[in-house]
Chain A
């Protein structure tokens, strides 16, 4: 099938203006890579910013030269005739600062040393990302987004937008997200990070110079992540207790389907993702807590928000459970802000936000139809 997205390609932009990061570090300059889909209308009012989650990037939808292996990570949601309809909206996908798919990150060359940043790359936060995304919007001539949206860590960015730049977005779609991580969430992230940093090939983050990769650590981190992104039911349904070897071998080799799946996913991930980026992104997740500055009152943190909200959670998501989304909804209601909330029945766990689901997509479609009416 040929879609109008088949001609997409990543675009690079260099920002020469230094950026002061939340950590106190100033990055003298940086690059962002992004993709756009659809057309910006004349009054520049139909732009939709898609914020990516932990391991995401700018390649949201479509394929490169029609190759199905290169399909974007949210292609079921974004495209012509899809819930985020690129026949009407100008959609932007951006790779976050600190990423490993083109935007300046730990694997990029530090112009001052001519070496990869490695462990010297500064920590970045959700607030920092939102700041860089606003600069990208300036560059594209977009004063106000019709929608800023994302799932999981992307949802946190969509929420932070309403705090950092309340006048620059009309709608915020916060999907499968949370106002801050729980201790359990941070615990999982810490185990993942330990897997990476204790890999003998990690070299304190400077593995690039040693021509090795902390492959094993990254693989373990991803295997753990995968377990937490799925639900117990979804895993049982997909893999059960099926043996790939028919009978127990009494060995430590791959015997169960689930073992095979996790190892495969772990390997695949470790082949294309940067270990330092994984560390930085999980830390950004851990640090996110907009209510910290307002005495842990989320409603006060969100009191400057001006846009409309759609919050969506999934019943089987135990990593960011529906209760976490409801905290956001209640804080928005306290501020009398316009918000709709849907709790979607699903079996896919946290990953549900990436899956096609009739009710989920109907809700987004219905919401976007109203956004379109406002935009025209």
Chain B
């Protein structure tokens, strides 16, 4: 069973194109894209056990700390750079967003929507939110830069990044109405404004 957000990403990429998947984890997404859309490219991952799993999944994976950016990777050398549920764990958010659109023509960014009503409700109750897309406790979460749809779109404007498409999902289904309130996972297809 392919994850719904991975299926959405698949629909946004061009078959046989060149992909860089930042924070690729065990390589499931790249494996799926390679199999279904015959893409090529690399995953980037910091954690050695996930690197090993990605290799086992037949994905070309480069072990690297994304905080140091994508130095050494040539400009516009990928069709799409994917940042799937990784942005919120990065320290240098602006730097990474700009760098990914330096090496790729398009970017796909997905992140848990902090504006999701269940998150808001838990904050209202006086506790830090936990949900299917935010599964951690406040004291062990790797997430340091949580944002809402609106926050992300504001940042894009600030960085001269154009949103080409937006897809918001919740419980494996597309959310059309009041996405910033009802969507738990935000997905954006973006490019650099020239």
Spell out A's residues near B (CB within 8 Å).
Answer: 308, 310, 326, 329-330, 333-334, 336, 338-345, 359, 362-363, 366-367, 369-370
| Assembled-state Cα–Cα distance A344/B48 (Å) | 7
- Is A359 a contact of B63 with CB atoms below 8 Å? no
Given known pairs A341-B63, A369-B56, the reply for A359 and B49 (CB within 8 Å) is: yes
- Is B63 a contact of A333 with CB atoms below 8 Å? no
- Is B42 a contact of A333 with CB atoms below 8 Å? yes
| Assembled-state Cα–Cα distance A340/B58 (Å) | 10
Main secondary structure, interface of B, reads: mixed
| Chain B residue nearest to A345 in the complex (CB) | B48
| Assembled-state Cα–Cα distance A308/B18 (Å) | 16
- Is B55 a contact of A370 with CB atoms below 8 Å? yes
CB neighbours (8 Å) of A370 from chain B are: 55-56, 58
Given known pairs A362-B52, A363-B55, the reply for A340 and B62 (CB within 8 Å) is: yes
How many interface residues does B have (CB within 8 Å)? 22
Given known pairs A359-B48, A363-B52, A370-B55, the reply for A330 and B60 (CB within 8 Å) is: no
Is the C-beta of B84 less than 8 angstroms from some C-beta in chain A?
no
- 6 contacting pairs across A/B (C-beta < 8 A): A333-B62, A336-B18, A336-B40, A341-B62, A342-B55, A343-B63
Stretch at the interface among B69-77, B105-113, B162-170: B69-77
CB neighbours (8 Å) of B61 from chain A are: 340-341
- Is B73 a contact of A330 with CB atoms below 8 Å? yes
- Is A342 a contact of B63 with CB atoms below 8 Å? yes
CB neighbours (8 Å) of A359 from chain B are: 48-49, 52
Task: Tell me which of A333, A345, A369 contacts B73 (CB under 8 A).
Answer: A333
| Assembled-state Cα–Cα distance A370/B60 (Å) | 11
Interchain residue pairs A-B with the least CB separation, the first 5: A330-B72, A366-B56, A366-B55, A341-B62, A359-B48
- Is B18 a contact of A340 with CB atoms below 8 Å? no
CB neighbours (8 Å) of A338 from chain B are: 40, 60
Is the C-beta of B51 less than 8 angstroms from some C-beta in chain A?
yes
Task: Tell me which of B56, B62, B64, B73 contacts A339 (CB under 8 A).
Answer: B62
CB neighbours (8 Å) of A339 from chain B are: 42, 60, 62
| Assembled-state Cα–Cα distance A362/B63 (Å) | 14
Other 19 A-B pairs with CB < 8 A, given A341-B63, A342-B55: A326-B72, A330-B72, A333-B42, A333-B77, A336-B18, A336-B77, A338-B40, A338-B60, A339-B60, A340-B59, A340-B60, A340-B61, A341-B62, A341-B64, A342-B48, A342-B52, A343-B63, A363-B52, A366-B55
- Is B51 a contact of A342 with CB atoms below 8 Å? yes
CB neighbours (8 Å) of B18 from chain A are: 336
| Assembled-state Cα–Cα distance A333/B58 (Å) | 17
Distance (whole angstroms) from the CB of A300 to the closest CB of chain B: 13
0 or 1 for each of B71-92: is its CB under 8 Å from A? (1 = yes) = 0111001000000000000000
Distance (whole angstroms) from the CB of A315 to the closest CB of chain B: 11
Distance (whole angstroms) from the CB of A371 to the closest CB of chain B: 11
